[in-house]
Amino acid sequence: MVEDAVLRITLAVVVGTLAAIVYSLRILVLMERRIGRIEMHIDNVAHKILKEELKIEKTIKRKK
């Protein structure tokens, strides 16, 4: 009877630990996707800024 209780407690701890690991991995994947989207937005902004800088340089060269 005591062994049965210890076995159930051990099993509950193992299942709880596995559930925590799965949940952590889920959160990690969601964060990775979010960071990937943020990086894409930063990349788009950087390309827009580069285009604007090139336009400004061309207009400055024309005026000279």
Find where tokens 């009877």 sit. Answer: 1
pLDDT bin (cut points 50, 70, 90) of residue 32 is very high
pLDDT at residue 63, as a whole number? 82
| Residue 30, pLDDT above cutoff 80 | yes
| Whether pTM exceeds 0.75 | no
Per-residue H/E/C for 3-55? HHHHHHHHHHHHHHHHHHHHHHHHHHHHHHHHHHHHHHHHHHHHHHHHHHHHH
Higher-confidence residue: 12 or 1?
12
pLDDT of amino acid 54: 96
Residue 61 DSSP one-character state: H
Please check the confidence at residue 64 and state whether its pLDDT lies above 80: no
